Protein backbone atom coordinates (compact mmCIF):
# COMPACT_ATOMS: atom_id res chain seq x y z
CA UNK A 1 0.00 0.00 0.00
CA UNK A 2 2.73 2.47 0.93
CA UNK A 3 4.81 1.66 -2.15
CA UNK A 4 1.79 2.17 -4.40
CA UNK A 5 1.01 5.50 -2.73
CA UNK A 6 4.64 6.57 -3.09
CA UNK A 7 4.59 5.68 -6.80
CA UNK A 8 1.32 7.55 -7.32
CA UNK A 9 2.62 10.66 -5.57
CA UNK A 10 5.83 10.53 -7.59
CA UNK A 11 3.92 10.28 -10.87
CA UNK A 12 1.66 13.15 -9.82
CA UNK A 13 4.68 15.32 -8.98
CA UNK A 14 6.38 14.48 -12.29
CA UNK A 15 3.26 15.28 -14.28
CA UNK A 16 2.69 18.52 -12.38
CA UNK A 17 6.30 19.55 -13.02
CA UNK A 18 6.13 18.59 -16.69
CA UNK A 19 2.85 20.32 -17.43
CA UNK A 20 3.47 23.17 -15.00
CA UNK A 21 6.68 24.17 -16.75
CA UNK A 22 5.02 24.53 -20.15
CA UNK A 23 3.75 28.08 -19.47
CA UNK A 24 7.21 29.03 -18.17
CA UNK A 25 8.85 27.69 -21.31
CA UNK A 26 6.37 29.53 -23.49
CA UNK A 27 7.12 32.75 -21.64
CA UNK A 28 10.87 32.27 -22.09
CA UNK A 29 10.65 31.55 -25.84
CA UNK A 30 11.47 34.60 -27.89
CA UNK A 31 8.22 35.30 -29.71
CA UNK A 32 8.01 38.10 -32.21
CA UNK A 33 4.96 40.25 -31.61
CA UNK A 34 4.81 41.39 -35.25
CA UNK A 35 4.11 37.96 -36.76
CA UNK A 36 0.44 36.93 -36.57
CA UNK A 37 1.38 33.26 -36.98
CA UNK A 38 2.23 31.03 -34.07
CA UNK A 39 5.89 30.01 -34.29
CA UNK A 40 6.81 26.41 -34.97
CA UNK A 41 8.57 26.14 -31.59
CA UNK A 42 5.30 26.78 -29.76
CA UNK A 43 3.51 24.08 -31.76
CA UNK A 44 6.31 21.63 -31.08
CA UNK A 45 6.41 22.50 -27.40
CA UNK A 46 2.66 22.14 -26.90
CA UNK A 47 1.79 19.49 -29.44
CA UNK A 48 4.72 17.11 -29.48
CA UNK A 49 7.04 17.46 -26.51
CA UNK A 50 4.76 16.39 -23.62
CA UNK A 51 3.54 13.13 -25.13
CA UNK A 52 6.72 11.02 -25.06
CA UNK A 53 7.25 12.06 -21.45
CA UNK A 54 3.63 11.25 -20.56
CA UNK A 55 3.96 7.87 -22.23
CA UNK A 56 7.20 7.09 -20.38
CA UNK A 57 5.77 8.14 -17.01
CA UNK A 58 2.62 6.09 -17.61
CA UNK A 59 4.61 3.01 -18.63
CA UNK A 60 6.82 3.32 -15.54
CA UNK A 61 3.76 3.60 -13.29
CA UNK A 62 2.08 0.54 -14.80
CA UNK A 63 5.26 -1.52 -14.40
CA UNK A 64 5.60 -0.34 -10.79
CA UNK A 65 1.95 -1.17 -9.99
CA UNK A 66 2.28 -4.64 -11.50
CA UNK A 67 5.48 -5.25 -9.53
CA UNK A 68 3.70 -4.17 -6.33
CA UNK A 69 0.83 -6.56 -7.06
CA UNK A 70 3.23 -9.41 -7.78
CA UNK A 71 5.13 -8.76 -4.55
CA UNK A 72 1.90 -8.62 -2.55
CA UNK A 73 0.69 -11.89 -4.09
CA UNK A 74 4.04 -13.58 -3.43
CA UNK A 75 4.04 -12.61 0.24
CA UNK A 76 0.45 -13.76 0.71
CA UNK A 77 -0.77 -10.36 1.81
CA UNK A 78 -4.56 -10.09 2.00
CA UNK A 79 -6.22 -8.35 -0.92
CA UNK A 80 -7.31 -4.79 -0.32
CA UNK A 81 -10.97 -3.99 -0.52
CA UNK A 82 -11.93 -1.23 -2.97
**What tens digit of pLDDT does each residue of 23-56 get?**
887 777 766 565 556 677 777 777 888 889 899 9
What's the chain's average pLDDT? 81
- The mean per-residue pLDDT over the stretch 50-65 comes to 92
* Share of residues in the chain with pLDDT > 70 (%): 79
Higher pLDDT residue, 40 or 58? 58
Distance CA 50, CA 57 (A): 11
Distance CA 8, CA 11 (A): 5
Distance CA 21, CA 23 (A): 6
Question: What's the pTM value of the predicted model, to 2 decimals?
Answer: 0.68
What pLDDT does 61 receive?
Answer: 93
Distance CA 32, CA 47 (A): 20
Higher pLDDT residue, 46 or 61? 61
Amino acid sequence: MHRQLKAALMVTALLAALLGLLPVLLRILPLSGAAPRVPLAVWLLLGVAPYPALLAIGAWYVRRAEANETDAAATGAPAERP
